[in-house]
Structure 1
Amino acid sequence: MTQAEATTTAAPTDPPFPFPITSALDPSPEYRRMREEQPVMRVRLPSGDPAWLVTRFADVRAVFADPRFSRAAATLPGAPRLMPGVEGDPESIVSKEGADHARLRRLVAPAFTARRMEAMRGRVQATVDDLLSQVEAAGPPADLVGLYTSQLPIITICDLLGVPREDRDRFRHWSDAMFHSTADKLDEAVAARNALIGYLAAMVQARRANPSDDLLGVLIAHQDNDALTERELVSFAGGLIVAGYETTSNRLANAVLILLGRPDQLALLREDPSRVPAAVEELLRFIPGGAAGGLMRVATEDVEVGGTLIRAGDGVIAVTNSANRDDEVWADPDRFDITRAPGPHTSFGHGAHHCVGAQLARIEMQVGLGSLFARFPTLRLAADESELPWRKNAVIHSLQGLPVEW
């Protein structure tokens, strides 16, 4: 067993994280070495804090399921931070633990059941059809990011919450600023977060005066019954918009790029559209979830993971990017194969904090990709892949444009 002393600052010998990557569509090759040689390793974060990286699939799932690795503790003063100056939101559902988390989950889960999400499929399809008509009208070359992949998720989430159509671009701007700010632009990220919270707080007051049957209206009814505080309500709504927009938008754009770059796989999908659900699962497994590949957790007591002792107070990042490429779970995991039997990937987490909006994200990707390639059977890139614009920081890697023609 490896012994490690809990410290408040990283050692000079701790390697800097996130690791360099050779492609935004592939996780760092360092993860393979770690899984084989050092599956739990201490690193130095952009904040200067140390943290443990957990890279094997079984260990990542164990961390997700173990309440001793706390998201709530990661929001406390003095807790390890991924980025300097970025504080966690203790009222967010992803930061709650135990009974508090179960209470919030119980209140919001009925709005995200598989049955309710399937009922939204028709609305998603209508949005997709409208957006694809706009792509077609724009004519080739058209930018799929600006016209399609960034539009579908924000429209869907805003419709779910009841955000007015004219305010969608504001939400998109705030979300972009929160995720895409670099270390030297943290003020912009903080200002965007405050603007989003302020808007949602005002929206809650308006909904209270004029009740609605959208998700925000349902949550307000819970708050009025003292089951949900206003801060929790606003935090959940804000988190839903940011996560539901940003992650799905990036996954959609990256999924299109992956399929266009693999004509054999795309041909299989076009020949048999019933493969779309399995293809989406493979895309979710294959596409890295940003540079860090996981949220910070803090050990609340000494815990052994993968033969390494993690001390109470230490930061831990369970890296989904690595877990999803573990050859102990998938044969030839770095090969993209839509005929692969869907496996238990970790892209939506695991355990109590499994993403509440996972089914909605799946539906958006299934409808979005299936309809796109059916509508444009000769769709192809209108630029060299090496020239595509990316925005990269420690949190996320996102395509800024995807020119296509048909």
Structure 2
Amino acid sequence: MTSQPPAGPAPELFTWEFATDPYPAYAWLRDHAPVHRTRLPSGVEAWLVTRYADAKQALADPRLSKNPAHHDEPAHAKGKTGIPGERKAELMTHLLNIDPPDHTRLRRLVSKAFTPRRVAEFAPRVQELADGLIDRFAADGSADLIHDFAFPLPIYAICDLLGVPREDQDDFRDWAGMMIRHGGGPRGGVARSVKKMRGYLADLIHRKRAALPSEPGPGEDLISGLIRASDHGEHLTENEAAAMAFILLFAGFETTVNLIGNGTYALLTHPEQRARLQSSLAAGERGLLETGVEELLRYDGPVELATWRFATEPLDVGGERIAAGDPVLVVLAAADRDPARFTDPDTLDLARRDSQHLGYGHGIHYCLGAPLARLEGQTALATLLTRLPDLSLAADPGELRWRGGLIMRGLRTLPVSFTPSASAPGNGASSRQT
């Protein structure tokens, strides 16, 4: 994929061709209309911010609110923010839709689950999941890495972190699968999946509250921690707890699905970089893996556009005057290919040292789960390349399809082939749940 701007008039946005490779269109916008007003497929008019410096400014500007109440567009007031089921009022109060001081309060309650220490303690479970999932298809010689690996790994991981019992996690996989396949569209299956997930979370919170011990134990799950906070004067309502669990589940798995899928695809289509990483892993070195995941986040990250912001007053961004109430969408994918910030931005270089990308945002809304996502991405890629060393793409790149949607960027499928392996150095799980 290249971001060389096409010649001629402005390219058409949000088509299937655009979804396959948006980078030339984003290059045109950076060169000709870096802050660009456009009509989205939903009919809402919004500003697209495409240059790195402007994007970083906008992400941290307190005059750009996350609260949809600052925008009076009827379609938006109904919750068209890219998150399935947000039309339900009880799911609207979460970290992606609020400003300080409520944002500060809720983020503080959840942040303890994503400390470096807590994430490091979770590493063995992530490795167990990665090995167990590969065990299931290692002898087959082929797989769809989205369905068989990239999707289930983070859904099971975030369920463990939240405290969803193992026997219920396959239900979450089914509900989440419906949402990730169909996004926020009008299909009845999506609405039913959201309703089931919402009902389950409310019931789980009720059951956990009834059984909550007086003092927290080591490694207490996140839902129990939220309940404990609400019961000890933190003013967290049950609806807020359910909304928090929902958004952590949704935002905590789809971004990682796309990180693993997009990252694996980039490595398979850049064999010299993939071989370099495999040599590093074989030597027991992790430095290239760590910088490599950051480069993959920059090169073709899981989040194409940051979630909605709304101007609370008139302001200037990149030389354009934004009116109060106007929606603003920061195009992370465009900013992270900006040649004014990155040398040779269209080149995948796993050893890149200047990769201060915006893939997880910037400012007070910087992705809370980034440490966990990095752990999952590093573990997934290292395990795939080590256990399936001759992994190769089993389809022409032009045949692959990318999921339509405004916020996320990810493949629908990723067919691969490899030499079948009868040995399974993982845990040998044979059931659906690992």
State the TM-score, normalized to the length of structure 2: 0.83
Distance 1:21 1:320, change over 3 A: farther
Q: 1:349 aligns with which of 361, 369, 379?
A: 361
Structure 2 runs not aligned, ≥5 long: 1-9, 214-219, 420-434
Equivalent in the alignment of 1:8 = none
Greater CA drift, 223-232 or 79-88? 79-88
Equivalent in the alignment of 2:417 = 404
1: CA distance between counterparts of 2:402 and 2:119? Answer: 31
Equivalent in the alignment of 2:378 = 366
- Alpha-carbon RMSD: 2.4
Equivalent in the alignment of 1:208 = 209
Work out whether 1:276 is the aligned partner of 2:295: no
Work out whether 1:259 is the aligned partner of 2:267: yes
2: CA distance between counterparts of 1:64 and 1:189? Answer: 30
Instruction: Please state whether the residue corresponding to 1:391 is helix, strand or coil.
Output: coil
Instruction: Please state whether the residue corresponding to 1:185 is helix, strand or coil.
Output: coil
Distance 1:16 1:50, change over 3 A: farther
Equivalent in the alignment of 1:32 = 27
Superposition pairs for residues 39-50 of structure 1, below 5 Å?
A: 39-50=34-45
Instruction: Please state whether the residue corresponding to 2:93 is helix, strand or coil.
Output: coil
Superposition pairs for residues 147-296 of structure 1, below 5 Å?
A: 147-181=148-182, 185-211=186-212, 213-227=220-234, 228-273=236-281, 274=286, 275-289=288-302, 293-296=305-308
**Number of residues of Structure 1 aligned to a counterpart in Structure 2:** 390
Q: 1:18 aligns with which of 7, 14, 17?
A: 14
Q: 1:382 aligns with which of 389, 394, 414?
A: 394
Greater CA drift, 190-199 or 29-38? 190-199
Shift of 1:191: 3.0
Greater CA drift, 375-384 or 100-109? 375-384
1: CA distance between counterparts of 2:74 and 2:254? Answer: 25
1: CA distance between counterparts of 2:255 and 2:119? Answer: 18
1: CA distance between counterparts of 2:388 and 2:56? Answer: 39
Shift of 1:261: 1.2
Shift of 1:16: 6.9
Are 1:15 and 1:43, in contact at CA under 8 Å, matched by a contact in 2?
Answer: no
2: CA distance between counterparts of 1:179 and 1:382? Answer: 23
Work out whether 1:105 is the aligned partner of 2:107: yes
Letter in 2 for 1:123: R
Are 1:35 and 1:56, in contact at CA under 8 Å, matched by a contact in 2?
Answer: yes
Are 1:91 and 1:232, in contact at CA under 8 Å, matched by a contact in 2?
Answer: yes
Are 1:72 and 1:90, in contact at CA under 8 Å, matched by a contact in 2?
Answer: no
Are 1:56 and 1:322, in contact at CA under 8 Å, matched by a contact in 2?
Answer: yes
Distance 1:79 1:301, change over 3 A: farther
2: CA distance between counterparts of 1:100 and 1:184? Answer: 29
Superposition pairs for residues 39-118 of structure 1, below 5 Å?
A: 39-73=34-68, 78=73, 81=76, 87=87, 89-118=91-120
Distance 1:182 1:339, change over 3 A: closer
Are 2:81 and 2:308, in contact at CA under 8 Å, matched by a contact in 1?
Answer: no
Instruction: Please state whether the residue corresponding to 2:261 is helix, strand or coil.
Output: helix
Are 1:27 and 1:288, in contact at CA under 8 Å, matched by a contact in 2?
Answer: no
1: CA distance between counterparts of 2:28 and 2:401? Answer: 29
Instruction: Please state whether the residue corresponding to 1:272 is helix, strand or coil.
Output: helix
Instruction: Please state whether the residue corresponding to 2:138 is helix, strand or coil.
Output: helix
Are 1:180 and 1:393, in contact at CA under 8 Å, matched by a contact in 2?
Answer: no
Letter in 2 for 1:185: P
2: CA distance between counterparts of 1:74 and 1:33? Answer: 32
Greater CA drift, 277-286 or 147-156? 147-156
Instruction: Please state whether the residue corresponding to 1:145 is helix, strand or coil.
Output: helix
Shift of 1:393: 3.5
1: CA distance between counterparts of 2:247 and 2:86? Answer: 15
Are 1:52 and 1:314, in contact at CA under 8 Å, matched by a contact in 2?
Answer: yes
Greater CA drift, 390-399 or 159-168? 390-399
Distance 1:389 1:310, change over 3 A: closer
1: CA distance between counterparts of 2:405 and 2:328? Answer: 20
Instruction: Please state whether the residue corresponding to 1:142 is helix, strand or coil.
Output: strand
Shift of 1:93: 1.3
Equivalent in the alignment of 2:427 = none
Distance 1:207 1:156, change over 3 A: same
Shift of 1:311: 0.6
1: CA distance between counterparts of 2:185 and 2:380? Answer: 35
Shift of 1:282: 0.5
State the TM-score, normalized to the length of structure 1: 0.89
